[in-house]
Amino acid sequence: MSTSVYEVERAAPPASEQGTFLIGYDVESRNPAVTQAFLRRAVAIHEATDVPATFFLVGRTIDLSREALRPLASHPLFDFQQHTFNHVLLKSVCIEDPIDGVRFFRAGTLEQIREEVRRTSALLRDEFGVTCTGLTGPYAYYRGLVDRPDLLEILWDEGIRFTRTWGRDERDWQPVPLEVQPFWYRLQGFPELLEVPLHGWQDISLRKSVGWTNHDGFLAVEYPYMERAAAEGLTFSYCTHDHSSTRDDPEMAITESLLRRARALGLAPMTYATYYRRVVERTSVTAGVSA
Ligand SMILES: [Zn+2]
């Protein structure tokens, strides 16, 4: 009998034959020059490879780059979701980081979190006509929100239907194994709220570990996750950022290599919003067949 929540509540993957590739950028820089240089290059590499992506936008970053973001709101390859307004943590993390030591970051209050999510969804709606249904949690957490039905209730009330919050291990460090596949928060009372973890390493942790200029060293660690996802029909969910994907790599060569590798492996690429929609469709089809 399985004793892992991600196995017991596992969501039916939309591309179980060939595996799925998800890439989500946390767009959160406080420097609009960084965000806008990133956006220009991201559009170029995603159009060149025809790989879709999700931008998880911090509200205050939207405020600084409204005009640069506007044309991308209706771009067929991109999807806008949120990352809170001020990058407020949903859960505290105590990171046992082998490079920078032990560090603690405190979560916001429940009232603050509700306001952060509501304000960002309102901004996305008023500015771009986007209905926000997805959120990635600042810093990401060990076991996502499986222990926090109070937070899930706030997110559900605010219209969030999928989260990317499982992104650390028991030391609040990384990597997150590929075994942690997307699952439903049914046990917590939210059977239609989907957790899509991030796998392996968020780029920042790994790039500082191998050295920011060591592109090949980074790819040598990331590729095996993608190869395994392709071989076993699993979902690989990758997290990077506006400021880190361009740091010591202004052309985003690392990210472009990942997109091309996903294509070469035959992984099905899609935005997180499309992924959620397809998982829901597959779930109702499966339920209909078994009924
Ligand atoms: Zn972030």
Q: Ligand 1 centroid vs 22 CA: distance in angstroms? A: 17
Average pLDDT, integer, range 230-242:
97
Q: Ligand 1 centroid vs 8 CA: distance in angstroms? A: 29
Average pLDDT, integer, range 37-46:
98
Average pLDDT, integer, range 134-160:
98
Choose which CATH entry (3.30.1360.20, 3.20.20.370, 3.10.180.10, 3.30.70.260) describes domain 7-284.
3.20.20.370
Q: Ligand 1 centroid vs 33 CA: distance in angstroms? A: 18
CA angle 280-193-282, nearest 5°?
15
pLDDT beyond 60 at 291:
no
Give 39's pLDDT tier (boundaries 50, 70, 90). Answer: very high
Q: Which of 15-24, 150-159, 266-275 has the lowest mean pLDDT?
A: 15-24
Q: Ligand 1 centroid vs 136 CA: distance in angstroms? A: 8
pLDDT beyond 70 at 287:
no
* Residues with Cβ within 8 Å of residue 176, at least 6 apart in sequence: 166, 167, 168, 169, 197, 198, 199, 200
* pLDDT at residue 15, rounded to an integer: 76
Structure tokens at 143: 């076991």
Average pLDDT across the chain, whole number: 96
Q: Ligand 1 centroid vs 49 CA: distance in angstroms? A: 25
What residues have their beta carbon closer than 5 A to ion ligand 1?
Answer: 26, 28, 138
